[in-house]
Amino acid sequence: MTVGFVTLGCDKNTVDTERYRAELTANGARVTSDLSAADVIVVNTCGFIDAAKRESIDALVDAGAYKVRGPCRALVAVGCMVERHRAELAEALPEVDLFLGTSDADRLIPALVARGVLMPTPASVHPGVRLYDGDLPHVRYLKVSEGCDHGCAFCAIPLMRGRHRSFALDDVVREAQLLELQGARELNLVAQDLAHYGRDRRDAIALPELLAAVAAGTSVPWIRLLYLYSAGLTDRTLELLADEARLVKYLDMPIQHGSDTVLQRMRRPERAATIRATVERVRRAVPGVAVRTTCIVGFPGETEDDVSRLLDLLDEVQFERVGVFTYSAQAGTRACDLADDVPDAAKYERLERVTEHQRGITGARYDDRVGTIAHAIVDRTAAADGNADGNADGNADGNAYGNADGNADDVWTAGGVQARLSWQADDIDGVTHLDRRDLAPGTIVEVHVDAVVDDYDFRATVRRVVSTAPVTRAIGSVRRHLPLAGAGTAGSFGR
């Protein structure tokens, strides 16, 4: 059986798809990137906002066409959107053969065997084992928990992913080690809220212990923290971020708004004053740290005065980057019961206004970086003709945050390579063009930051190689596997 995947939404979905790939491969399937040659197509859906839902439906419709003009015998929809809207999707998309939500992850193999498209195999794969199929094997995502206990009024994630459950510390470290064996040079730790890690386990292991264990258990040179609530940032976490050289000085810390009245209606734990104080504390504790955030405009009841307060907060705090998206009501959330009284035209005008306002702030922050010495990781090399060797896709501001501040990185410095500075997270913060072409992906270099290019990108000169990328074993050749899940890890990976 040959299987093809379409993955939509956030990096946590990427992790889930890699686990599906590993499980199917262990059961005799072959993975292909050519959907027209796939016997089975799996679409991992996103249901975070309306735009993501539309994209998921379009992907399912497109994939369904291969059942008519290709060898596809089964189309499978998995993920968050299925968890929330299974009945409606089944009625609207008869071409889809299987609908498996996030709580049905263990049913994929039995369901395909039952349909006769996959031969039963006595294979057992630990849920932490993953199979990568992208173009940047040195950049990997490590999910440390599943679900969310926060009660944000606008968010349906708890309805799609369930309550927060932290994965066992030993399992996370073993998975990190496996990713390193597969060539990982940058581990991006992801969760609905990293700062919430460990609070459900009651074993005195929290985010600081997790960070220390991952750093001690691997030699991955870059470990990055993505998406954590400011309210959960402890002094110990900041101390580790400042002192551990391999923890990238970068935080993705969503605030969602700058008006206290809107934050209260959103049921967010922070207020403008606490946001200011937290960012000040972060920058005082971690010199040179880059702080990124996300905001929603057009939430029910939002006024022009509220938008002005958001702009004022952005001026005061000076985030390096801000992803902005418009509010859309999600069934089952508390905000869905509120009157959606901000017209769409006003929402999009406010999105443009906030985005343009932040553009100037980012420009000033980035100008301050010019002339500094920094570290960068090489992502892609240049082909002989000066074009990108690989996929230089536009930087959609992923994680289902909308595309408000994404920029197409089609600018390519002839004869150079594409890299990222430490304050540039994969796929959302632009790229850096280096002056050398003899550096392999995954190489860490020290650079002089020469200039800002097209608002969000940089040009830099290589001073020296800090760490050479190791030779990566071919996917499938790694023989080190995690132990089978046992009593100590049952349910650890959200299954």
pLDDT for 127: 56
Mean pLDDT by 10 residues, the chain (495 residues): 88 84 86 90 84 86 88 89 84 89 82 83 63 84 90 85 89 93 94 91 91 96 93 93 96 96 95 96 96 96 98 97 93 90 96 96 96 96 50 36 37 68 93 92 96 93 91 48 41 45
pLDDT for 168: 92
Look up tokens 């892609």; give the residue: 380
Q: pTM of this prediction?
A: 0.79
pLDDT for 411: 40
pLDDT for 415: 53
The 10 Å CB-count burial string (b at 16+, else e) for 312-349 is: ebbeebebbbbbbbbbbbbeebebeeeebebeeebbee
Beta bridge partners of 223: 187, 247
Q: Which residues fall within 8 angstroms of residue 161, CB to CB, at 6 or more apart?
A: 80, 83, 102, 146, 147, 148, 192, 494
**170, 252, 379, 430 from 389: Cα distances, Å:** 37, 29, 10, 17
pLDDT for 484: 40
Q: Are 53 and 82 in contact (CB under 8 A)?
A: no
What is d(CA 439, CA 377) in angstroms, rounded to the nearest whole number?
Answer: 10
Look up tokens 């810390």; give the residue: 253
Residue 304: how many CB atoms within 10 A of its CB?
9
What is d(CA 222, CA 469) in angstroms, rounded to the nearest whole number?
Answer: 12
pLDDT for 125: 59
What is d(CA 203, CA 54) in angstroms, rounded to the nearest whole number?
Answer: 42
Residue 315 phi, psi dihedral angles, 5° rounding: -65, -40
What is d(CA 104, CA 86) in angstroms, rounded to the nearest whole number?
Answer: 12
pLDDT for 89: 86
What is d(CA 61, CA 93) in angstroms, rounded to the nearest whole number?
Answer: 8
Q: Are 11 and 399 in contact (CB under 8 A)?
A: yes
Residue 236 phi, psi dihedral angles, 5° rounding: -65, -40
